[in-house]
Chain A
Amino acid sequence: MNESANKSNGNPEREIVIVIRKMHKWYGQFHVLKDINLNVERGEKIVICGPSGSGKSTLIRCINRLEEHQDGEIIVDGTELTNDLKNVELVRREVGMVFQHFNLFPHLTVLDNCTLAPIWVRKEPREEAEATAMEYLERVKIPDQANKFPGQLSGGQQQRVAIARSLCMKPRVMLFDEPTSALDPEMIKEVLDVMIELAKGGMTMLCVTHEMGFAKTVADRVIFMDEGEIIEQNKPHEFFDNPQHDRTKLFLSQILNH
């Protein structure tokens, strides 16, 4: 698996940011993730897809240790994720995450949502943090909403704030956990546009998503998971035009021809 991962990127000079080796995870008796091996290069965009319950969300949640793995190793930017709380915090600073349900802090304004972590974790001066926040809010095209509360925004706007909030920590890797699944169809596009912009800027991204159009335009690599295993991974056009595995074919036929 490792070899095929390296082959598919085919660029040996690039730096590897995330290393996952022989990683297993159980929920009690249930084996959620089985022998996951994955290397992610700096600047690489990976889309992870698969049927629901296949472990794709759990996989990316392991990368910032919102879930603990029980076996194998995960190394992010040279730091191994173990029970060492300081290391976990170190990794979380460098890894941003966007959730399906946005999870904005409802008691804080949009601006305060964006500056909370930079002020308390990065110890930035408020002015500087606010300037950075406004910059990112402009990039996600909602600077005029800065002083509103999350409850006053539409779903698409909230998700864009969530992206800006993550970016304010200047992360080196961004994780997206089904960022458009809770959105109305007309709002999906505004969020995907922001993500595409981000991809063009060279961010390392791992996205769990069902947006196959996004995968085709942005991804360097598409990973298909089923029942806790990585079944197949390939460049997008290879993956969509020429799937190798029966389960991949079945999944693609279901998702593309509905």
Chain B
Amino acid sequence: MAEVAVSPQRNAISRLWNDKESRSVIIQIITISLVFAFLAYIIHNAVVNLQAIGKGFSYNFLWQPSSYDINQHLIEYNSRSTHFRAMLVGILNTILVAICGIVLASIVGFVLGVLRLSKNWIVNRLAYCYIEYVRNVPVLLHILLVHGLIVHAFPVPRQAISIGDLTFMTNRGIFSPKPLYEPLFLVVVVLFLLGLAFMWWFRRYAQKVQDETGQHYPVFWIGLGAIVGVPLVSFFLLGSPITWDVPELKGFNFTGGMVVRPEFIALLLALSLYTAAFIGEIVRAGILGVYYGQTEASYALGINRGRSLSLVVIPQALRIIVPPLTSQYLNLMKNSSLAVAIGYMDIVATIGGISLNQTGREMECMIIVLALYLVMSLIISMIMNWYNKRIKLVER
């Protein structure tokens, strides 16, 4: 008999399991079954336990009066408003601190990153020390520290630090005059909008002129004149059509004017200065990640340092910077939930805090909080991914 090697015969199950494709299908089926089994189990568990303590699952409480106060509300709110409205106030407060924080953290972070690369020894070391101190201390401590500083180091309203008797810095916040607009002020607003429109057109025009004749207009200065200068001049020509509601000390506190509360200042400063340290390192890595030959090549063409950075290095560095930058933005937004420690009324403090305690609807409230953070995170991710794709396309 000829000695031909034949693969050994096996049973059907063994054959299915050892086939590359069928094995992958089997594993996927098992995985999905396990996931759904787990989900079914926890939902069932929740339903059974809620029934056991005699609670239903309902969002009707959202339409009942909340009966608590919120000191910082961007929309009309009082203790007779509903829990739903309290939630909206909380969302707006979270969004406010997140957006201000992201903007401030980005600006400070970029500056830190560039300073960290400076050849000036002092500047470089200062940035280094700042980053190492800030990023090695938990953000909660930063929040408590800044809040503590404002509350303890700033004077009580009666001894407020006054800036020209208009703005008052106190441990209850910064009080400043609130503008009350007269009808004529509309003219200034219109001029400002016209200035913006003009600028939008002028930038394109300047680009066209540069393309055709090579002449560079001082776009920045002309823009400044159109957007700031013209409205400002017209404002004074119209006899300053704004009256100011200046804050006044009445009893133990100021009334009137606008107030920025210490909780907001503390949270904003702590979150953004903390995140800025990380962004600084990301920016530094991004710039260093661009091969130095790129800078040399642009220098060799006679391009100066600033333009080399903006025309050649930064566009390439952004590709390295943007993905980790997205994570930092998400971190900042989620870290804002630590607001609860100093009594800033964000989502967690309102619907996930006081509303939850008063109604006992922990399941419902936690689901709302979870979903809200998820939605906000996904929106930030979406915007950043879109931006990342846009700058990435440029390569090929």
**Mask: chain A, 132-156; 1 = CB below 8 Å from B; 0 = not:** 0000000000000000010110000
* Complex interface: chain A residues within 8 A of B301 (CB): 92, 96, 116-117, 121, 165-166, 169
Instruction: For the complex of A and B, list the 9 residue pairs with the smallest distance between their C-beta atoms, beginning with the closest.
Output: A126-B211, A103-B297, A117-B301, A93-B302, A97-B300, A92-B302, A103-B293, A125-B214, A123-B214
Q: Does A194 contact B (CB under 8 A)?
A: no
Chain B residues positioned under 8 Å from A128 (CB to CB): 214
CB-defined interface of A97-108 with B at 8 Å, one 1/0 digit per residue? 101010111110
Cα distance A123–B216 in the bound complex, in angstroms = 7
A residues near B300, Cβ cutoff 8 Å: 64, 66, 92, 95-97, 99, 166
The reply on A127 being an interface residue by CB < 8 A is yes
CA distance A97 to B214 in the complex (A): 24
Check A198 for interface membership: any CB of B closer than 8 A.
no
Is A123's CB under 8 angstroms from B294's CB? no
Q: Specify which of A95, A99, A103, A126 is in contact with B210 (CB 8 Å cutoff).
A: A126
Choose among B298, B302, B303, B395 the residue that contacts A106 (Cβ–Cβ < 8 A). B395
Asked if B307 contacts A120 (CB within 8 A), the reply is yes
* Cross-chain contact B307 with A123 (CB below 8 angstroms): no
Beyond A64-B300, A101-B293, A125-B212, is A116–B395 a contact (Cβ under 8 Å)?
Answer: no
B303 touches A121 (CB 8 A): yes
A103 touches B296 (CB 8 A): yes
Q: State whether the Cβ of A238 lies closer than 8 Å to any Cβ in chain B.
A: no
Type the 1/0 row for B305-322, where 1 means its CB is closer than 8 Å to any CB of A.
001000110011000000
List 19 A-B pairs, Cβ < 8 Å: A92-B300, A95-B300, A99-B296, A103-B291, A103-B297, A105-B312, A105-B316, A107-B316, A116-B301, A117-B298, A117-B301, A119-B210, A121-B301, A123-B215, A124-B214, A126-B211, A166-B301, A169-B301, A169-B302
* Interface bracket on A: 35 or more
- CA of A124 to CA of B211, assembled, Å: 8
- Distance of B58 from chain A, by nearest CB (Å): 55
CA distance A97 to B293 in the complex (A): 12
Determine the chain B residues whose CB is within 8 A of the CB of A125 once the complex forms: 210-214
B396 with A152: CB separation less than 8 A: yes
Interface presence of B181 (CB below 8 A): no
Q: Chain A's interface: helix, strand, loop or mixed, by majority? A: mixed
Which residue of chain B has its CB nearest to the CB of A117? B301
B17 within 8 A of A: no
* Chain B: interface size category: 20 to 34
Residue of B nearest to A124 (CB): B214
- What 1/0 flags go to B365-395 for Cβ under 8 Å of A? 0000000000000000000000000000011
User: A107 CB to closest chain B CB, in angstroms?
Assistant: 5
B31 in contact (CB, < 8 A): no
Q: Mark contacts of B238-267 with chain A using CB atoms, 8 A cut-off: 1 yes-contact digit, 0 otherwise.
A: 000000000000000000000000000000
Complex formed: what's the CA distance from A64 to B297 in Å?
11
Q: CA separation between A96 and B300, bound complex, in Å?
A: 7
CA distance A123 to B395 in the complex (A): 26
Distance between A150 CB and nearest chain B CB, rounded to angstroms: 9
Residue on B with the closest CB to A66?
B296
Give chain A residues whose Cβ lies under 8 Å from the Cβ of B297. 97, 99, 103-105
In angstroms, Cα B215 to Cα A105, docked, is 24
Is residue A89 within 8 Å, beta carbon to beta carbon, of the partner chain? yes
* Nearest opposing residue in chain B for A86, CB measure: B304
Known contacts A66-B296, A106-B395, A116-B311; decide if A127 and B303 are in contact (CB<8 Å): no
Say yes or no for B130: interface residue by CB 8 A criterion.
no
Instruction: Note all chain A residues with C-beta closer than 8 A to B302.
Output: 89, 92-93, 117, 121, 169
Most chain A CB atoms below 10 A, which of B211, B301, B303? B301
Most chain B CB within a 10 A radius of its CB, from A101, A122, A126, A129: A126
Contacts A116-B311, A119-B210, A127-B212 given; 15 further ones with Cβ under 8 A?
A: A64-B299, A66-B299, A89-B302, A92-B299, A92-B300, A99-B293, A99-B300, A104-B297, A105-B294, A105-B298, A117-B301, A120-B311, A121-B302, A123-B216, A169-B302
Residue of chain A at shortest CB distance from B291: A103
B287 to chain A, nearest CB (A): 14
Contact A103 B311 (CB under 8 A): no
Closest residue on chain B to residue A95 by CB atoms? B300
Across the interface, which residues of A come within 8 angstroms of B304, CB to CB? 85, 89
